[in-house]
Amino acid sequence: MKLPIAAVGRSIPRLEAHAKVTGHAAYVHNLSVPGMLIAKVFRSTVAHGRIRSIDVTAARAMLGVFAVYTGEDIRKVIAEPYYGPAFHDQPILALDKVRYAGEPVAVVLAVDTHVAEAAAQLISAEYDELPAVFNEVEAMTSTAVVHEVLKPAGTFADLKHLKNKSGTNIALDFHLRRGDVDKAFATADHVFEHNFRTQQVLHLPLEPFATVAIPEGDRKSGTLTLHSSTQSPSFVRIEIARLLGWPENKVRVKVPYLGGGFGAKVYIKSEALAAACAMLARRPVKFATTMEEQFYMITKHATTLRIKSGVTRDGKITARECEVWWNGGAYADIGPRVTQKSGFTAAGPYEIDNVKIDSYALYTNLPAAGALRGFGIPQLVWAYESHTEMIARELKIDPLAIRRTNLLREGRPQATGTLMRDAALGQVLERLATRMQWDKPLDRGTETLRRGRGIAIGFKASISPTTSMAIVNINADGSCHLYSSTVDMGQGSDTAMAQMVSEVIGVPVQKITVVHPDTDVTPYDMATLGSRSTYHMGHAVKNAAEDARDKLFAMARELGLSAETTPIPDVFKKKYGMQAGNIVGVGSFIPPYTSPDANGQTTDATPFWMIGATGAEVEVDIETGEFKVTRLVNLVDVGKAINPAIVETQISGATIMQLGFTLTEQMNFDAGHVTNASLADYKIPGIRDIPPLMENEAVDANQKSGPFGAKGVGESGTFGVSPAIANAIDDAVGVRLTSLPLTAEAVYRGLRNKAGNPLRND
């Protein structure tokens, strides 16, 4: 019955393509249920302060308002209303004090959005303001302490030592030691040291956060169903059950399509408040944020990075020391994991015998930072690929040559001691060089319009160890259901997973339904994040499909049928006398992983490596500093592509998103207040911002440990973009920028500095 349909590796359209082009695809933002109340949040107007009083009288009195709750009300249904994946540090509504401007302080429930909004505007609060800290480096030593006591969640063993620690803003420090950097610096021909900065930015999926919470029964014996725009339904169920003191089976989390996620919707976001409100109100409650409110939900870490290298005169890097300070904002979210996991690779994709890395997750009085398409890697690549280029220029070594000299080779140990396996670093770099025609001279432009080019390459360890489960059901007519809690937020996972089932069972993709996450129905999955699904869930799905196929074959053989040639419906008919019955295959997957020791050393840091490189060509107007990225070439190693067309869209999309973080996006603050919380003033890339030439390529590679040779895709395109463009600007006009975003004004100021005629600062 297995047809050679070769579903894997084909560029079939997305399963949900028709639903998306007709406007019928379901998103929680569009969901409405009978009797539903709308929640609107009143937010803190100070960055750090003790709450003296909250006045909700006028809001409660407003016609159409069902209820107004504050943090103390939440305690009636959740005794300890603090949540978070790494730390239980985030109150559902502020208790005792507020830690950033924009923090939820009270919530209005009304039958109508307009009424809820108007009522929220009638709430007022008074605070005793406290000294605040905003900068990540200052947070290391600041007397302004964001959390009096640290509250690690207990889920992660390596955070336990932080329990009850007080008087510090350091939520996690990660250290890696390999060889002896001090000795190597002392004997190096050259030592270079540079500082870099990245700005705070955010995800901004066009579908903002949304949860509809529906309580049934009473508070003691009832259940709670959450329809949510989450990337991690299994985690939401566990966390809501923990908050309510319930067993997991009483909380149900359902996820339709997501209008984008990019890491914003991981772990727990809008769910805790919606759940608490529904429990208090005993009515369905919808908490859907506006675009503006996204600026107060979750962001990407601003970072300060210091990097120092010892180098031989011919460009071999002998030692590297990195210090990274991550601005985590007021709540840890998954910041400590970003700090640790990215710490593994902070020294870059190079073979360096002596490495020292110190990485710190800091609390500050800003909106919380979490994971955004790369788990901290784009910030690190920005620093180490700018630094590498600066060394090359100083030593007058070709930028490609210095990378060739130092690049990690297959089977060689990376800074953690883990050997590089199935990591096509060399291949990616060489393909980039070929496509950029690096060996040919570049047209350098005119007197006023100068041209330059730059390259950068980065890599990332996957998030480990994490678990995925899947169920494949073969129906009596030969059609199939795949039950998986992977969330399709646009990356095309439904399609890729269906292609894998199709490949194993030999059923065409059109006959496979991918059942969307529903924790009463679909089995556990850690989350859809960190480019982990194709590999982890892919394995689980493949295992489940193989299990189902093996059972089907066994059943056929038992019935005396040829397993390989009998059509599926005939097997079922013979077994059950009619079109009846089904076969259920299960699969699970957890990759091997060894926790790093005190020096950050481990034999198993990751199940696979993600690799991305970018080449950029720019044109700089030296009269104004304005520049255009005229060409962007993106190379990645994703192993074998399950669906090449969707993979290319992922590479391209990741690259353009990072282009925004490189050129146009920046959260602006005034004393901790976001001053540009809208798409009018926070500029994400539009269609006119796309370089005229964009080329994307996944190199011909194979992840031997991956399902069908595949591995993660979603983040790799982001890695090299920022430093490649900065390197190209340097190449064009000799101006080195060390802070993101790269602006025309910064280039212009650099030109003026070079000319010995600095521009005024007014």
Q: Which of residues 86-115 bind other proteins (CB under 8 A)?
A: 113-114
Beta bridge partners of 518: 254
Could you say which of 148, 648, 715, 745 is catalytic?
715
Of residues 245-274, those binding other proteins (CB under 8 A): 257-262
Residue 322 near residue 307, CB atoms below 8 Å: yes
Beta-carbon contacts of residue 340 (< 8 Å; ≥ 6 apart) = 158, 172, 174, 359
Place of tokens 């919530």: 107
3-state secondary structure of 721: helix
CB of 543 to other proteins, least distance (A): 27
118 binds other proteins (CB under 8 A): yes
State the number of CA atoms in the 13 A half-sphere of 590 facing the CB.
8
Task: Tell me if 13 contacts other proteins by CB under 8 A.
Answer: yes
761 binds other proteins (CB under 8 A): yes
715 labelled catalytic: yes
Closer Cβ to other proteins, 24 or 704, answer by number: 24
Segment contacting other proteins by CB under 8 A, of 18-26, 319-327, 350-358, 530-538: 18-26
**Cβ of residue 105: shortest distance to other proteins, in angstroms?**
18
Contact 598, 389 (CB under 8 A): no
Identify the CA nearest to 327 among candidates 130, 149, 137, 196.
137
18 makes contact with other proteins (CB under 8 A):
yes
Structure tokens at 419: 């050997």
What are the counts of helices (DSSP H) followed by strands (DSSP E) for the chain?
A: 18, 29
Which position among 168, 211, 491, 519 is part of the footprint of other proteins (CB under 8 A)?
491
Q: By C-beta, is 508 or 569 nearer to other proteins?
A: 508
Cβ proximity to other proteins: between 441 and 692 the closer is: 692
Among 10, 60, 190, 683, binds other proteins (CB under 8 A): 683
Shortest Cβ 35–other proteins spacing (Å): 16
Residues in 391-420 that interact with other proteins by CB under 8 A: none
Length of the chain: 762
Of residues 492, 523, 591, 707, which one binds other proteins by CB under 8 A? 492
Contact indicator for 672, 47 with CB cutoff of 8 Å: yes
Site for other proteins in 684-713 (CB under 8 A): 684-690, 694
Smallest gap from Cβ 432 to other proteins, in A, equals 19
Q: CA 146 to CA 98: how far, in whole Å? A: 9
Applying CB under 8 A, does 517 fall inside the site for other proteins? no
**Which of the stretches 514-522, 566-574, 650-658, 703-711 binds other proteins when contact is defined by CB under 8 A?**
650-658
Contacting residue, 16, 385, 422, 525, with other proteins by CB under 8 A:
16
Task: Compute the least distance from the CB of residue 740 to other proteins, in Å.
Answer: 13
- Which of residues 119 and 420 has its CB atom nearest to other proteins in the complex? 119
Nearest approach, Cβ of residue 237 and other proteins (Å): 23
Contact 610, 716 (CB under 8 A): yes
Stretch that binds other proteins, among 51-59, 152-160, 338-346, 743-751 (CB under 8 A): 743-751
Kindly indicate which of the ranges 178-186, 232-240, 375-383, 742-750 contains the residues binding other proteins, using the contact rule CB under 8 A: 742-750
Structural tokens at position 577: 């006398």
Question: Is residue 30 involved in binding other proteins (CB under 8 A)?
Answer: yes
Among 446, 562, 565, 678, binds other proteins (CB under 8 A): 678
Size of the site for other proteins (CB under 8 A): 79
Per rule CB under 8 A, is residue 207 in the interface with other proteins? yes
Read off the DSSP letter of residue 160: G
Residue 672 φ/ψ region, left for φ over 0, alpha for ψ in the -120 to 50 degree band, beta for the rest = left
Among 121, 155, 602, 702, binds other proteins (CB under 8 A): 121
Give which of 660, 666, 677 is closest to 718, Cα–Cα: 660
Question: Are the CB atoms for 314 and 402 separated by under 8 Å?
Answer: no
The beta strands (E) that lie in 534-672 are given as: 582-589, 609-621, 627-637, 669-670
Map residues 280-309 to x or -, x wherever contact with other proteins holds by CB under 8 A: ----------xxx-----------------
**Stretch near other proteins under the rule CB under 8 A, chosen from 7-15, 95-103, 123-131, 633-641:** 7-15
The 3-state secondary structure of 634-674 reads: EEEECECCCCHHHHHHHHHHHHHHHHHHHHCCCCCEECCEE
Please measure the distance between the N-terminal and C-terminal CA atoms of the chain and give it in whole angstroms.
Answer: 75
- Residue 161 DSSP symbol: G
Q: Could you tell me the smallest distance in angstroms from the CB atom of residue 618 to other proteins?
A: 15
Question: Smallest Cα–Cα separation from 52: which of 97, 93, 119?
Answer: 97
Q: Which residues are catalytic?
A: 715
